[in-house]
Structure formats: structure tokens, C-alpha cells
Amino acid sequence: MKQCPTCKMTVDAKNECPICGTTLTYEPIVDAEKEHIILNKYYWVYFAKTTWFPLLCLIVCVVRVAIVRPQISPLLFGMAGLLLISIVVSIFQRYLPDLIRWKYIHMGEYAEFKISMWKYLCAGVAVLFSFFV
């Protein structure tokens, strides 16, 4: 773990802060168990960059359902569930790869790819479901 000099967050990165993009190469290693996130302007910009697509898909689905006014159906619940999964995955995107890394022990960045793929896939399928409701 290293502490970023710009955003003052303790992050699990070696070369570059994932929150603000500052180089961490010459920063000393901090003895910490987990990341420490501070709610400042750098975090909110990072948060907006990681959650823009699920939130856009949520807006599209809400507008589509408001226009069509469908009856309650399993497809509507499926759309809502996929949107919820996508938003939760995008919020906890920094922590989820550590939970599935045991499965992909020899593939370092595959866990991050898989998490981001599920974020985009669930939101995209939810928008697709909104056109069939």
C-alpha cells in the first residue's frame, strides 16, 4: 500500500494512483491492512468515471418504463435486478477483484477485466430488456 501525495488516499497500487492518476513510484510503502478512501473531489471524479455507464442505463430504463408503463412481469424484475447488479459492481469495483482472484490466481489482470465486463454487460442487457417490457 502507498499513500498518494495528491489525493491523500492509501491505495493498493505500485506505480500510479487509480483514483487521481498521480505517480506513486517514489512514494514510501505504508503499513496498512486495507485501502483508505477519503471523500474529496478526486474520489468523486473517479466515482463519476466508473459509474457513468450504469447510471446512464438506469436513466434510459426508467424513462423507457415511464413511457411504456408496462404491467409487472418477470422481465421487469430481471431488468431491475440487472441494473442493481451493475450499479453495485460499479460502486465496489475496486474491492471485487480481490474476492475472485483466488479463482484466477495465475491471471493477474483478468479479475479486473471480468468485473468491468460484468458491469457493462448487466447494464447493457437491462437496457435491452427495457425495449421488450
List the one residue out of 28, 27, 24, 26 whose CA is nearest residue 13. 24
Q: What is the pTM of this model?
A: 0.84
The residue behind cell 501525495 is 5
pLDDT tens figures, 57-69: 999 999 999 999 9
Portion of the chain with pLDDT greater than 70, in percent: 99
Cβ-in-10-Å burial (0-12, 13-18, 19+) of 7 comes to buried
